[in-house]
Structure 1
Amino acid sequence: MDYQRLVDWVDSRIVGSPGKVIVAFLLVSLVFAGGLGNVSTEAGTQQFAEDIPANNALEDINREFGPSFSADTGSTQLIQRADNVLSKKELLRMLEAQKRVAEQEELRVTGTSSAAQVVARTIDPQATTLGQQIDALEGATQREVAAAVRANADNPALTGTVSNDFNRRSASSSATIGVVQHTLPSGLSGGGAGMGGSSPLTDIQLRIDRIVGTVGGDITVFGSGLIADEFSGVITDSLLIVTPAAVLFIIFFLIVAYRDLVDLLLGTFSLGMAVIWTFGFLGLVGIPFNQIMISVPPLLLAVGIDFGIHAINRYREDRETGLDIGDAMTRTTDQLLVAFFIVTGTTVIGFLANFASDLPPIKDFGLVAAAGIVFTFLIFGIFLPSAKVWVDRNRERFPIPTFSQKPLGAEGTSLGRVLQAGVVVADKIPVGFLLVALLLSAGAGYYATGVDTTFTQEDFLPPEEVPAYLQALPEPFAPGEYSVVATLNFLEEKFQTTQGGSVTIYVERPMQQDSVLEEIHRMGDSPPDSFVQSDGRAQSQSIVTVIQSQAARDPEFRQVVARNDRDGNGIPDRNLETVYDELLQTESRDEALNYLAEDRQSSRVVYSVTADASQDEITADGRMVADRFRGSAIATGNTIVFAAVSDVIFESAIVSLAIALFGTAVFLLFIYWVLEGKPSLGLANLVPIVVAVSLVAGSMRVLGIAFNAFTATILALTIGLGIDYSVHVVHRFIDERHERPLVEALEVTVRGTGGALLGSMLTTSFGIGVLVLAVLSVLGQFGTLTALSVVYSFLVSLLVLPSALVIWDRLVGNDPDRPIGAGSGRTPPDDDGSDPMFGPTPAADAEPRTDGGEPLADTCTDAGEQTALERGGSR
């Protein structure tokens, strides 16, 4: 395969027509910039749960049961806190808040419910409106109010809305929840508050928050709209904090790496172009921006910085040998375009491995990151060299200031000597050192098997308390005020069955069958440990408990139940159609429809779970209880859905890692077979990646970082980023090995390429490490792991890879004291024309090229020798 012809064509454009190349890239940038305005955001956890069976069941429930679960309705919670929310003063405050909200037509209120309304109707059964209920409470004494509370001490309509510290005797409670129900435009759903994401209720609930604030007292507005608002807000705040910090670090290290103002401007402009292309692509293809994609800009900066430093540093090395601008850049791109292509190919494989995930946001992340890396390759492989040639030629014509043009890690410098530590080891004990490195990676990999997997709504929300160093930031960088997590924690503490503290069993069976209610009742016998228990039974809410509650306070309905209860246990077991008809004529109609589908072909049972139960325990126990039902019953609920997503996340991490490793190995074997006729180089190239991945995985457990929606991509990402470092070393080594003995080739490689890698590592690790400043703690974890993966990849590429290359060189039978091929540019084949490790090479019987198709480095026998390359890229 004559790949060199394509490289030569690109070389000639870069050196011969740099102005045209620059204009072409700027025009393409305008096209992508047009897509920036189409970028939309998608936040929350619902996007991760698509096609999860437990979530599908939860969506079925949301469609089928009750007004608050209707596809075109939503609800807002009013969480009231006080010394006693059941006092006359606080009950009136809740009613007044509900009344002011209901009076606003734009809030589309269809109904309200609260403990205050239950108490008011008990005092005056004729008080059906909020205004009449306020009048009833105002006309009652505190003693009458307390008596009305005690009268409803067994009524779920009251007890289901007050906190766990409800005291029947003193008629008191420290917290209660009122509900305001809304109708929404057709086709929009306000359900799924627990799942977050975009919500049509956001504007409604923000307005309600302002209205309730005029009532006084401590009433918090809560609902899916406000959760969605914070989901989106935390993305904006994180970007506002992380991006400037990353830019500052990157500019600082680029100044150190480039030490020239013009080169710094070229590098930063190219980085900005890569980001514009990637996010313009996002808008043009219609992929929404989600929380995971906050990490895409730092990743692009990481690879772009690496490419930029390598291009400028290698160009400076070649200029140091006395080559002119055109010759030096042609020699640079002749070598680096191939290296950049290998890096791009393996990095894209690492990112596209995320397509094995069943989670749509992770797939989108993989696609966008892969596209961004391809754009980065084009910009830094073609545009940046063209711009550098154009600028340097104009420097010779105009007084453009020039600062240091000395390459990093030059011979004789202290840095150059430090970078050669791995070469010293490789020269003395390569086999022993490599075995130690592989044993260390095996131990780290085994240790990493204990890494946890989590998926919670809080992963996507800001912390309850924002760190002080973030609060101290000036505007516009200071984060906003966040309350959702604090409210969720309060609900979990005070209300056992609220916000994930429950399991829902979705029962699909004709509910008119005589035995069905008895079977639902028996599901709560001998409950598992994670379920809240009362008198040896699971605490639950279902159509059975609604029937029992209504019968307890309604003599007429009690008689209906008794006539259809053959065994006298309070649960009807015949003529259930009649029982349901009568129940739906009572005040319990809305509550009943929360547990009984209107077509009476399904039902749901909600079990309270203990606060300290884990996701896995709740999931296992919920499925065990569902199995007790003689028919189709599925355990679901937010907790179980999140547990299922956690399983998928872990599976995605492992499968993506396997695909990335396999795909990278195949690609490297193939590419080195094509480029050098030595596929075995691909295995040497892969050694440091295996070590780096194992170290990253082991570090996750040491640092207590679990696989979550963000870190699930880290192992495949480590391959994608880590291969960058090892490819540059291997490709530079084989280039130098054609001209030099083994150890000298390694020394030149780590001195030149190692210097660029060091600058890239420092810039990238700090640039990505600033993610620890993000408001989202999981984003900080992702930044920490990504920075570690870069540092590990750098270290193993300079410490472990030299030993692997020495062993490879021995195995293929090269003479360590002579250049391979004696200047022919190719490793001499065996007598049969085969690679000593992998058999026949594609060019084993080909005549040596005389048309300039061999790599330029092969024509040089001394670092300072002038090549035969002609200006403009022709040879």
Structure 2
Amino acid sequence: MRGAGERIEAVTQRVNERIVTRPRAVVVGFLVITALFAGGIPAIETQTDITEGFTEGLPEQEALDSIDAEFDDSFEADAETTQLIHVGNDVLTREELLASLRVLERVEDRDDLRMESATGPAPIVAQSLDPTAQTAAEQRRAVQRATDSEVRRTVRRLAEDPRFSAVVSDDFNPNQASASASVTVITHEVPPSFSADDLAAIQQTTDQIADDEPGDIRAFGQGVIDNEFQAIIVDSMLIVMPVVVVLLLGFLVVAYRDPIDLALGLFALLMTLIWTFGFLGYSGIPFDQQQIAVPVLLLAVGVDFGIHIINRYREETVQGYDAVPAMRTAANQLAIAFVIVTVTAVFGFGANVTSALDPIRNLGLVSAVGIVFTFFIFGLFLPAAKLEIDRLRERYGVPEFNSSPIASEGSALGRLLSVSATVGQKAPALFVVALLLVGAGFGAYGAGVDTTFEEEDFLPPEEQAWYVEYIPEPFAPGEYTVTETINILSDRFEANQDESITIFVEGPFEEDHALEALAGPNDDPPDSLAVGQGGQADATSIVTVIRSHAERDEEFAALVARNDRDGNGVPDRNLDLIYDELFDSSAGPRAEQYLTEDRRGAQVEYTVAADATQGEVSADGAALADEFRYSATATGQLIIFDAITSVIFASAIQGMVLAVGLTGVFLVITYAVLEGKPMLGVVNVFPILIAVAALIGTMRYLGLPLNALTATILSIAIGIGIAYSVHITARFIDEYNATDDTLRSLQTTLTGTGGALTGSMLTTTLGTGALALAITPVLGDFGFLMAMSVAYSFVASIVALPPALFLWDRVRRAEGSKLAALVGT
């Protein structure tokens, strides 16, 4: 084992020798590679669909896709429609209806907007006034010719029309003929080559037309959501990155205290970003909201590497060593630590690659690749560039401003950091046990942390944070309306958008027993679905449409009665004839929403209890689906989001276990090969376990759930946090091998490397914490937790590692004494 370690150290020394003896060639080579990666940046694609990557492959989503393909819902917008949302005190007055029709007329006049038809209160009222009015212009003239009284009477008459009630808000008052909001659905006639970008352009133009009209009329649809989502990504980057850079700049000024070293460090960070974004472009991985965290994480690790290499180099130069020998010593000493930190970070970040969710998997892959890039740039390029720049400074007489290390043994910071070594020496076993109990307590409490997945996490809040108004141009974000519009649809159209699930049933629905089989499970549903009278389900299906139409059409009612042998209102023979009559009637459009044209598929919509959780609804939906005679699948947003939530939780736990396991095994093997001391690997993992346990406990205490992004925090915290204990252990071993004095080695380590770690911790904490300023909640929570994890990892390394190393040393010496005694006997 030791021989292998010596060979690894020899290879490392040869690489470092090439760096310090040929720095100019190294610098030029890296600059060429940077230019190549820069060519991939223009190819980056932005992922604008919020949930697409999370739902892909889910059976529940596939069932919903089948429903969308088979059934027509006049209220829901599909890929070829735009919704006009009209809000006001009363949107059914003559003037407000005319405003809607003027928008439709202008849209219809534009060939590029491809308007085919429109369904909403204004067209319905206009056609009721004048059945011959087909175009928007004709409909506008029909309403314009009518008096206010005629319009009100027409609205009252339409109150019983389901087409009309579906597109007005819940507060619709038939007596006063008033409503505070309405939805008009514009259908576009599009060619097969029509793309999402084309739809977005149509909806943006429609929104501009609507904005010209008095009152509050806005266009809404997937194109508007995608455009705003893309703007959120850009605006978040424009807010977060300058703040990160300013914070890093402030602390790097303190850490480097030399403008040229500072510029060199910043340039290395810029190279890291160019390499990573170039990889994104060349690989075809889309840039989504999750990926905003990647550059922040890489900057955090890059700052850590940069501070260590410069600080260690300065420790040698202040002792009188020349530049090349000083850098050779610093690079040789740090190279192994950098490799260990990089591999463990790759394990931590890359553990997310095993997730079943594409966005989390992509985040893990890109961040892991970025960490490798960071290692090459700061481990190879930065030392070479530092030497080359120092040569130029010496040649041209450029003075050094401050080249002292961050901390020394005599400094206040050095004395403070070394306290844990002095204290930990006294009763290391007691300290280790106490820290294990504290960590176990945090972990047990944090085991109850929530897991969620909600679209709102990815969208900006309806009211922006207070600091947004103080952000200057060009960094100031634009105005966002999607959340407000979604809230309007949710709050004012509750009758159309109750919390509900859908069961997609496949079977031969012309068989005599088909409708009885469809209605039968509704009599005794699970608890969260038992919201109807007498504990029955509140279900809407083709059966509901048949009964509703029978109440209004005597002839159809007689047909149903003749074919209803048990008299329960559900026909059980000649169903094909009943369907034909139903689909040919005025109820046909509604029937098409619940039964497919080939009579092989049906959907049943169920209202769920308001206080039911996603998990309860999902479980009850699956249980109810099992009660159907035909093949049935429960789906709907609640069920899909619950399925995603389950995968998110599994990803978080799987990623954490994998990161800890791989990191622990790697460190045990590494220290066994390099130093012949495998137990140092276990000692290294000890502080990060406490830090992660504290992080989970903090999440539960603050009510921050595991979600689409914070689910990655556990493994990422391991990937970043392990660096602190690795750097301390690596420096400790070098000092320990030279002195065989644990206390002295720890004091030297904590005052030297500990000082660099302090600077790294401050910059990383504030840098990652800057994500809290991002527009969307999911990024804000991730940034806050990332900052907390870094702080916890630093404190755990400073506090928990010294007593663990003392205990390791005592056990090692005790084993050595026993071995010596055995040999002596």
In the TM superposition, what is the alpha-carbon distance from 1:747 to its structure 2 partner?
Answer: 0.5
2:276 matched to which residue of 1? 278
Which of 172, 180, 185 is the matching residue for 1:174? 180
2:774 matched to which residue of 1? 774
In the TM superposition, what is the alpha-carbon distance from 1:799 to its structure 2 partner?
Answer: 1.1
Which of 32, 44, 57 is the matching residue for 1:39? 44
In the TM superposition, what is the alpha-carbon distance from 1:315 to its structure 2 partner?
Answer: 0.8
Change in CA separation of 1:114 and 1:757 when aligned onto 2, cut-off 3 Å: same
Change in CA separation of 1:442 and 1:410 when aligned onto 2, cut-off 3 Å: same
Change in CA separation of 1:123 and 1:186 when aligned onto 2, cut-off 3 Å: same
| SS of residue matched to 1:659 | helix
In the TM superposition, what is the alpha-carbon distance from 1:374 to its structure 2 partner?
Answer: 0.4
CA–CA separation in structure 2 for the residues paired with 1:168 and 1:534: 25
Superposition TM-score, scaled by structure 2 size: 0.94
Contact 2:75 2:167 (8 Å CA) reproduced: no
| SS of residue matched to 2:347 | helix
2:12 matched to which residue of 1? 7
Q: 5+ residue gaps in structure 2? A: none
2:643 matched to which residue of 1? 644
CA–CA separation in structure 2 for the residues paired with 1:96 and 1:48: 40
Where do 1:644-793 residues align within 5 Å? 644-740=643-739, 741-793=741-793
- The structure whose residues are more often helix, as a share, is 2
Contact 1:11 1:333 (8 Å CA) reproduced: yes
CA–CA separation in structure 1 for the residues paired with 2:402 and 2:817: 41
2:113 matched to which residue of 1? 107
Q: Is the counterpart of residue 800 in structure 1 residue 800 in structure 2? A: yes
| SS of residue matched to 1:78 | strand
Aligned-pair RMSD on alpha carbons? 2.6
In the TM superposition, what is the alpha-carbon distance from 1:526 to its structure 2 partner?
Answer: 5.5
In the TM superposition, what is the alpha-carbon distance from 1:776 to its structure 2 partner?
Answer: 1.1
CA–CA separation in structure 1 for the residues paired with 2:193 and 2:574: 37
1:583 matched to which residue of 2? 582
Where do 1:92-103 residues align within 5 Å? 92-103=98-109
CA–CA separation in structure 2 for the residues paired with 1:499 and 1:252: 50
Change in CA separation of 1:147 and 1:362 when aligned onto 2, cut-off 3 Å: same
Higher mean displacement: 115-124 or 420-429:
115-124
| SS of residue matched to 2:718 | helix
Higher mean displacement: 776-785 or 241-250:
776-785
CA–CA separation in structure 2 for the residues paired with 1:140 and 1:122: 11
CA–CA separation in structure 2 for the residues paired with 1:402 and 1:358: 52
| SS of residue matched to 1:775 | coil
In the TM superposition, what is the alpha-carbon distance from 1:613 to its structure 2 partner?
Answer: 4.2
In the TM superposition, what is the alpha-carbon distance from 1:611 to its structure 2 partner?
Answer: 5.2
State the AA in 2 paired with 1:116.
A
CA–CA separation in structure 1 for the residues paired with 2:152 and 2:580: 34
State the AA in 1 paired with 2:374.
T
1:854 matched to which residue of 2? none
In the TM superposition, what is the alpha-carbon distance from 1:639 to its structure 2 partner?
Answer: 1.9
Which of 485, 488, 491 is the matching residue for 2:489? 491
Cα deviation digits, residues 446-503 of structure 1 (max 9, x gap): 1101211111111111111111211221111111111111121222211125567321
CA–CA separation in structure 2 for the residues paired with 1:420 and 1:747: 5
Contact 1:653 1:712 (8 Å CA) reproduced: yes
In the TM superposition, what is the alpha-carbon distance from 1:599 to its structure 2 partner?
Answer: 2.5
State the AA in 2 paired with 1:676.
E
Contact 1:496 1:610 (8 Å CA) reproduced: no
| SS of residue matched to 2:320 | coil
Which of 238, 241, 257 is the matching residue for 1:240? 238
| SS of residue matched to 2:705 | coil
Where do 1:68-147 residues align within 5 Å? 73-147=79-153
Where do 1:266-665 residues align within 5 Å? 266-498=264-496, 501-525=499-523, 530=528, 533=531, 535-536=533-534, 538-554=537-553, 557-558=556-557, 560-609=559-608, 613-665=612-664
Cα deviation digits, residues 655-689 of structure 1 (max 9, x gap): 11111111111100111111111111101111101
CA–CA separation in structure 1 for the residues paired with 2:666 and 2:688: 14
Contact 2:550 2:556 (8 Å CA) reproduced: yes
Contact 1:430 1:807 (8 Å CA) reproduced: yes
State the AA in 2 paired with 1:599.
D
| SS of residue matched to 1:400 | coil
| SS of residue matched to 1:246 | helix
Contact 2:255 2:307 (8 Å CA) reproduced: yes
CA–CA separation in structure 1 for the residues paired with 2:765 and 2:725: 16
State the AA in 2 paired with 1:459.
D
Q: Is the counterpart of residue 30 in structure 1 residue 28 in structure 2? A: no
State the AA in 2 paired with 1:421.
V
CA–CA separation in structure 2 for the residues paired with 1:323 and 1:830: 42
CA–CA separation in structure 2 for the residues paired with 1:295 and 1:218: 36
Contact 2:506 2:600 (8 Å CA) reproduced: yes
| SS of residue matched to 1:812 | helix
| SS of residue matched to 1:153 | helix
Contact 1:71 1:187 (8 Å CA) reproduced: no
Cα deviation digits, residues 297-343 of structure 1 (max 9, x gap): 11001110110100011111112232211111111111111000000
In the TM superposition, what is the alpha-carbon distance from 1:437 to its structure 2 partner?
Answer: 1.2
CA–CA separation in structure 2 for the residues paired with 1:96 and 1:424: 80
Contact 2:169 2:493 (8 Å CA) reproduced: yes
CA–CA separation in structure 2 for the residues paired with 1:742 and 1:358: 46
| SS of residue matched to 1:813 | helix
CA–CA separation in structure 2 for the residues paired with 1:151 and 1:363: 55
Higher mean displacement: 695-704 or 573-582:
573-582
Change in CA separation of 1:175 and 1:252 when aligned onto 2, cut-off 3 Å: same
CA–CA separation in structure 1 for the residues paired with 2:321 and 2:41: 42
CA–CA separation in structure 2 for the residues paired with 1:86 and 1:523: 41
In the TM superposition, what is the alpha-carbon distance from 1:557 to its structure 2 partner?
Answer: 4.5
CA–CA separation in structure 1 for the residues paired with 2:160 and 2:627: 28
CA–CA separation in structure 2 for the residues paired with 1:348 and 1:619: 36
CA–CA separation in structure 2 for the residues paired with 1:764 and 1:14: 27
Which of 18, 21, 24 is the matching residue for 1:19? 24
CA–CA separation in structure 1 for the residues paired with 2:249 and 2:211: 46
State the AA in 1 paired with 2:651.
S
CA–CA separation in structure 1 for the residues paired with 2:701 and 2:133: 62
CA–CA separation in structure 2 for the residues paired with 1:311 and 1:294: 27
Higher mean displacement: 805-814 or 391-400:
391-400
2:261 matched to which residue of 1? 263
In the TM superposition, what is the alpha-carbon distance from 1:411 to its structure 2 partner?
Answer: 2.2
Higher mean displacement: 199-208 or 482-491:
199-208
| SS of residue matched to 2:290 | helix
Change in CA separation of 1:717 and 1:538 when aligned onto 2, cut-off 3 Å: same
Higher mean displacement: 168-177 or 156-165:
168-177
Contact 1:318 1:332 (8 Å CA) reproduced: yes
Cα deviation digits, residues 791-818 of structure 1 (max 9, x gap): 1111111111011001001111179xxx
Question: How many residue pairs are counted as aligned between the two chains?
Answer: 815
Higher mean displacement: 605-614 or 674-683:
605-614
Change in CA separation of 1:787 and 1:829 when aligned onto 2, cut-off 3 Å: farther
Superposition TM-score, scaled by structure 1 size: 0.88
CA–CA separation in structure 2 for the residues paired with 1:565 and 1:116: 40
In the TM superposition, what is the alpha-carbon distance from 1:410 to its structure 2 partner?
Answer: 1.2
